[in-house]
Structure 1
Amino acid sequence: MKYETRKKAILILKDGTMFEGKSVGIDGTAVGEICFNTGTTGYQEIFTDPSYFGQLMVTTNAHIGNYGINEQEEESEGIKIAGLVCRNFSFDYSRVNAQESLLDYFKRQNFVAISDIDTRALVRYIRDKGAMNAIISTETDLDALQKQLDAIPSMEGLELASKVSTKEPYTVGDENAKYRIAALDIGIKKNILRNLTQRDCFVKVFPFDASFEDLSSFNPDGYFLSNGPGDPTPLKNAQKVAKDIIDRDLPLFGICLGHQVIALAHGVPTYKMFNGHRGINHPVKNLLTGKGEITSQNHGFVVDKKAVEDHDILEITHEHLNDQTLAGMRVKDKNCFSVQYHPEASPGPHDSAYLFDQFIEMIKASK
């Protein structure tokens, strides 16, 4: 598509700041909380990660779409981000095993994206001003767009897990596998399930509102609380499920939103970060081993570190080295641990994949 023929598009931030760009070819409007990811690859995995539901994604990598789309790299059924803001959009792709272009992928899902935005200036602005709601559009009525923007609810206090969770339970893996895992889906990624099945697990995935009794009916050897979008505080059912599992000292592993739910189940608060962590090169220190890990991260909320430090039965196990926020914890004398980041990566490094092995070892020891 020729640059000259592409329609003008705009981005308006909640505080009124405006950026001009170009539509990639799909007319429309998209709204959400604006955030940015610093990863240089893995755009398809990012776009389909349920944890990003309700957010407009700014990609800091200058070129998006250059290696097309491969159906094996989806982390859920379809795009989960609300909209895309990028610098250079590649209409052509060069990967041999790609099935289609990014534009065709977007067209099939009527997904709005704008390019030719000065993303370096935009990200610097967001870093200074913090995360805020925004709107992208090919429309020109600024007053109407501003009204639409003003109607977007704040991410703080917003329950979104129900929007991305499975409606019905389903299983993944070999039913004759050595271990059975019951997973509560509050926004689960496919690569988490792959990591579990690769470790000889048969997994049953349950909807966000399933009870402990529902999960236990699978007769699992271990339980898992997934990642997901939005504020963890409204997820009262998930918190109760976590408490029921922990009170019975059953093996439990939580990632990202699941990690936050475990904290809330112990009366430890979470809070919304100024910008959050989103990228595939975040440094984390394992305080138990002293080793460092390069990690994949995607979260806008975090567990209150001081509250965990003061807690009688919780122990901090991992720390984010950029800002010293809490990155992992465990329950003392219980079969429960969790991390704020993504050991399944996809995209990202595999430094933290050992956590899945740790979960399996916990299950073995508890049998």
Structure 2
Amino acid sequence: MLATIIQYLIPFLLILSVVVFVHEFGHYWVARRNGVRIETFSIGFGPELFGRNDRHGTRWKFSAIPLGGYVKMLGDADAASATVDLGHAKDPDSFPAKPVLQRMAIVVAGPLANFLFAIVALALLFATVGRPFTPPDVGAVQEGSPAAAAGLLPGDRITAVDGAPIQSFEDLQAIVRDSAARPLRFTIDRQGETVELTVTPAASEIEDRFGNRHRVGLIGVSRAGIEYRRSNPVMALFEATAETGRMIGGTLHALGQMVIGSRGTQELGGPLRIAQMSGQIAQDGFIPALWFTAVLSINLGLINLFPIPMLDGGHLLLYGIEAVRGRPLTERSQEIAFRFGLAMVLSLMVFATWNDLVHLKVVEFFANLIS
């Protein structure tokens, strides 16, 4: 039992605390630059475990429930900035007293800090360890596979699919996985000769290392090899920025597929799934753990930008409306919006936790006890 706690819980708390600190420090730093007095900077919620006051009067603390964090600014009546403390709302150092554009800058700074952290972390990896790169070369062709039926041969280099250039084996996988049962036109470089082939990926269900099942397209080829390409610091930053953009785009694409029903929602995971992934990846060493932390930071920043009241994106939406109208929404309207946002966030957390329990077979365990 103790070994399990050490293996999963400790890496989870460390990784989550780093990502949450980065997010909240973004809010804190920009708020301080705009003259807002910060009352509390907390990692976690609930009762304080330990902390200290700095010379600016901010209480830095760790709290008992380590599933998030908050920055409480002067003028906030609660940690979520959902209501205003009327006793301090007119104080020039309070958050509500600042112009709407300054408030928007403070709110968006949290997600932006997550993205910047991911870019720096990935750039560090690309400049030191190197970026994984797999040439789009066919290493082996599985007998009886769609690739074999289409005439692909070991040693072929795939240069384009449906006219889209292929730079790496990962580019090929990304297209094939989303194209189950759809014919694709492959452009092949075969010993200097250009060959055109039509390959139809077979629909298949696979399970990743974390137990998630995905319906994907497969053609039955393996890569020829993998190499790590280190970049100079300047190029590493450009590549890390592009990689962060690709991750954001991939996440939005996956969510869009869930909305239209072409992708299962069982992939949505909550804290239990993140804890499991953290523990497993931490066993692989510091480099995979840093990569996972960067990915988690990107996802946290992106989710917080969704226009849902209670999240940063919801605050931005309300402040955007205030900027257009020239005055904020009524207190009643804001209260309704935040209640709606709270209901959405709680519903999503319950749904994600249910997915976690099903994924970890906890539901199956109790169902077997009853039956």
Query: TM-score, normalised to structure 1's length?
Result: 0.24
Give the greater-gyration-radius structure (CA).
2
Query: TM-score, normalised to structure 2's length?
Result: 0.24
Task: Write 1 or 2 for the structure with the bigger share of strand.
Answer: 1
Task: Write 1 or 2 for the structure with the bigger share of helix.
Answer: 2
